[in-house]
Amino acid sequence: MAHPRRVVITGIGIVSPLGVGAERNWESMKAGRTGVTRISKFDPEAFSSQIAGEVKDFNPLDFIGKKESRKMDPFIQYAVAAAEMAVEDSQIKRSQLEGDRTGVYIGSGIGGISSIEENHKVLLSKGPKRVSPFFLIATVINEASGQVSIRTKAGGPNSACATACSTGTHAIGDSYRIIARGDADLMLAGGSEAPITPLGLAGFCSMRALSVRNDSPEKASRPFDKGRDGFVIAEGAGIVLLEELGSAVKRSARIYAEIVGYGMSGDAYHVSAPCPDGDGAWRSMKRALSDAGVKPSDIGYINAHGTSTPWNDKIETLAIKRVFGDYAYKVAVSSTKSVTGHMLGAAGGFETAATAMVLKHQIIPPTINYENPDPECDLDYVPNEARKAELDYALSNSFGFGGTNGTLVIKRFLE
């Protein structure tokens, strides 16, 4: 279905295990360099999984004042930094962000878990009067959007979502529709996450969701490979500046790509496992393609959810086959989680940005660590080496706990 207003991506900001900044992340993705290492934030020896995609070269003081940064959980710091980089990357005048035609929509799957842990320890050891007065504003998920809105003076739609691993994709998809229907001209949108804490790691370990390939962290995230044994927990933020096309053209903005379709669905099946026949993922992709008004055969690349869990990768492959039929074997599929690990609520923001850069540069980053083909995962996963390609349309998938699904269709922008 055609929308009255077109929406393009004009700025990208990334904080990830690959580094800080869009260009650094793009170069690492292309080269297949992993950001997965042994956990250094705390001693992980007692945990079954001891590896993660940690953000290691981030200094919040490069983006936020010392006094302000102390009031922010790391997931908010990452979001503020990524948003600042997206604004700088777009080369828009900050005065153009001010007012009610610019909005902010940044979500998180877990929010301020480290602040919760720290303040709970204080409560137990020192009593309630010693809990920080900034505890709640450092913890609640919408404060990432709130802080970015305050700093940019963006007075338009201000919201957040918490849809597990679909969060970043839903935030961007919802923002795309906000602009398309005329409620804003610009939106800073995406996701942010900082879940690598003892409690966060313990929870995922107890679920047996994580890889335990502790002896070789760089090999642990291996989407679609037969030897995959779970995902690798990761952190960071991915924020894009979405802009109404007329606004972008008027200021001669560099345009990465255009968002043309968005689909959502619910599995209505299980609190954490995907529907075995891939029905929810299938409906999400079908709705996005219908919204974009394109055929499956128009899609040249799929940035897969591709978490490196035995069940998820198999089901996503099944759903892709159901949507694309025989053409599924001709479309290139890769998982950037192979190099970052799974950034949870930030994954969709990062992967939307990655897909936009794929279309801009016409290069597909590889799925690294693909060594042993799985008969049930038999598509073209662009194994181990980047590939040049001629692409007009790409699709980006995100599927989350609770059976929540999101898909974006993104188009190459030709001036």
DSSP letter for 379, please.
Answer: S
Residue 133: exposure state from Cβ atoms within 10 A (0-12, 13-18, ≥19): exposed
Q: Does 342 qualify as catalytic in the annotation?
A: yes
- Quote the distance between the C-alpha of residue 166 and its chain's center: 8
Catalytic residue among 3, 170, 342, 377: 342
Give me the phi and psi of 38, to 5 degrees please. -65, 140
Strands 158-159 and 102-107, sheet pairing: parallel
Q: Rounded CA gap, 315 and 74, in Å?
A: 33
Q: Considering only the C-alpha atoms of the chain, give the largest distance between any 2 of them, rounded to a whole number of Å.
A: 64
Q: Rounded CA gap, 352 and 258, in Å?
A: 11
225: left (phi over 0), alpha (psi -120 to 50) or beta: beta
Q: Does 3 qualify as catalytic in the annotation?
A: no
Chain position carrying tokens 């207003």: 5
Q: Does 361 qualify as catalytic in the annotation?
A: no
Catalytic residue among 161, 165, 275, 377: 165
Catalytic residue among 3, 161, 305, 377: 305
- Classify each residue of 254-288 as buried b or exposed e, where b means 16 or more C-beta atoms within 10 Å of its C-beta: ebbbbbbbbbbbebeeeeeebbeebbbbbbbbbbb
Q: Rounded CA gap, 35 and 342, in Å?
A: 11
- Reference 98, options 85, 86, 87, 89; nearest CA is 87
Cα radius of gyration (the chain): 20
The SS3 assignment for 166 reads helix
Q: Please identify every residue annotated as catalytic.
A: 165, 305, 342
